[in-house]
Amino acid sequence: MKAVHFGAGNIGRGFVGLLLHQAGYEVVFADVADALIDQLAAADRYNVHEVGENPTIRTVDNFRALNSGTQEAALVREIATADIVTTAVGPHILKFVAPAITKGIAARAAGLAPLQVMACENAINATDILRAEVAGLWDDAAGSLDDAAVFANTAVDRIVPNQAPGRAWM
170 vs 125, more confident: 125
Residue 63 has pLDDT above 80, yes or no: yes
Nearest to 9 by CA among 68, 78, 74, 95: 68
Alpha helices in the chain (DSSP H): 10-11, 18-22, 34-42, 72-80, 94-106, 126-137, 145-148
Residue 120 near residue 155 (C-beta atoms within 8 A) = no
Pairing of strands 45-50, 56-61: antiparallel
CA dist., res. 62 & res. 56, Å (int): 20
Give residue 68's domain range: 2-151
Residue at 156 is within a domain: no
Q: How far apart are CA 66 and CA 167, in angstroms?
A: 23
Quote the CA–CA distance of 148 and 85 in Å, as a whole number.
13
In a domain, 161, yes or no: no
What tens digit of pLDDT does each residue of 134-165 get?
999 999 999 999 999 999 999 876 665 666 66
Residue 166, pLDDT > 90, answer no
pLDDT value of residue 125: 95
Q: Cα–Cα distance between 133 and 49 in angstroms, integer? A: 35
Residue 120: DSSP 8-state:
-
Is 87 a residue whose pLDDT tops 70? yes
Residue with more model confidence, 4 or 166: 4
Q: Structural domain tally of the chain?
A: 1
Q: Kindly report the CATH number assigned to the domain that includes residue 116.
A: 3.40.50.720
Task: Note whether 100 and 76 are within 8 A (CB).
Answer: yes
Alpha carbons 59 and 43: distance in angstroms, whole number: 12
Q: Is residue 169 part of a domain?
A: no
